[in-house]
Amino acid sequence: MKAMTEQVHSGQWLGHTGKPIRHIVNIGIGGSYLGLKTAINAMTPYHVRGLEHHFVANIDPNELTEVLGKIDPESTLFIVASKSFGTLETLQNAQAARAWMIDQGCAEQDIRKHFMAISTNLKAIDQFGIAQENTLPLWDWVGGRYSLWSSIGLLISMVVGYDNFERLLKGAEAMDQHFCSAPLAENMPVIAGLLGVWYQNFMGAQSHAVISYDYFLRDLPGHLQQVDMESNGKRTREDGSTVPYQTGSVIWGGTGTNDQHAYHQLLHQGTRLIPVDFIAPATTHNPIGEQHPWLFTNALAQSQAMMQGKTLEEVRDELTASGMNADEVERLAPHKVISGNLPNSMIV
């Protein structure tokens, strides 16, 4: 991975007309797409200049067509990422990309200069026509939804540099070590997991919101949907019997402060119990005026409002202090009450 990344960054990897690589297209779906996109957008400040990256996941031809319209066939490298190399969407898109390259003037024998593959199925890769030296194997025990940390993460390395990819791995390792060694009462994954069991099975919650106050983490809820819901979403035990309790919640979410103007009223004042994880960066890569302090303050305020709530008496006092007459206060006050004691976690 490191050698391939350095070849692209140094301009040594050349297309069929001798041009260096300027566009990298990742063709993959599910775990070969969601985790990569989340990580790459999260590390936007570390992107290598002069390279553009693109994703093709859906079998919808509109998606591939849109990407092909943005790239130059002489300076594009396609990464076909598929654990089995048998996923319908990925193979269809890879074959269409290959045909497009030939239509654009790339000879059959030069296709190897524009295609790489990551898979456990090395035989299928060879049949497709991708050169062995352009192939990265994948351990068969790597679950697709967790595969961004493996060779599937090649695009991450290409976009941010191998050293930064390694830093990402070390951060993941640190959390793995925490999970393995921390006492249960101080163990973040254990606590989060137990809270999920508690709210779903004992408090009647059906969904769980993840709201990130960081634009670069905007794709996190979509990745977590696969990691959590595809992993926990089944109802059948190994012996074939049906599980008599809830195994997972519906994961959803978005970004603050946008979401505050969309659905937070349901979280604060609605009839459903919806646990929330608020994710807030303590610092920013892009300090502009007072925007980041306001962003962080909003995140804290949402968490505080869910925890503490606002009583009818507090609302009445606020409205009265604003100069509103007594009749109007009585009419409006019930609509501004927040029950409080609503479950949420603040991850900073």
Backbone dihedral region of 26: left (phi > 0), alpha (psi from -120 to 50 degrees) or beta?
Answer: beta
Closest CA to 80 of 70, 67, 92, 69: 92
Structural contact between residues 134 and 79, judged by C-beta atoms closer than 8 angstroms: no
Residue ranges covered by each domain of the chain? 2-169, 180-347
**Does residue 121 have a pLDDT over 90?**
no
CATH number corresponding to 2-169: 3.40.50.10490
> What single letter denotes the amino acid at residue 332?
L
What residues have CB less than 8 Å from 43, skipping those under 6 apart? 156, 159, 160, 164, 168, 216
Is 47 strand, coil or helix? coil
Closest CA to 97 of 55, 132, 43: 55
Q: What are phi and psi of 78, to 5 degrees?
A: -95, 130
- Can you give the pTM of this predicted structure? 0.93
Mean pLDDT of 217-235: 93
Tokens of 108: 């059959």
CATH number corresponding to 180-347: 3.40.50.10490
**Does residue 220 have a pLDDT over 90?**
yes
Structural contact between residues 116 and 134, judged by C-beta atoms closer than 8 angstroms: yes
Q: Give the model confidence (pLDDT) of 285-338 as tens digits.
A: 999 999 999 999 999 999 999 999 999 999 999 999 999 999 999 999 999 999
CA distance 281 to 298: 12
**Does residue 144 have a pLDDT over 90?**
no
pLDDT at 148: 95
Integer angstrom CA distances of residue 183 from 171, 186, 190: 20, 5, 9
Strands (E), 21-147: 23-27, 52-56, 76-81, 115-119, 135-137
CATH topology of 2-169 equal to that of 180-347? yes
pLDDT at 190: 97
pLDDT at 123: 86
**Does residue 129 have a pLDDT over 90?**
no
Mean pLDDT of 220-236: 92
Structural contact between residues 213 and 296, judged by C-beta atoms closer than 8 angstroms: yes
Mean pLDDT of 88-115: 95
Q: What are phi and psi of 29, to 5 degrees?
A: -135, 165
Mean pLDDT of 190-216: 96
Mean pLDDT of 53-61: 97
CA distance 274 to 277: 10
What mean pLDDT is reported for the chain? 95
For residue 345, the surrounding DSSP H or E stretch is: strand 344-347
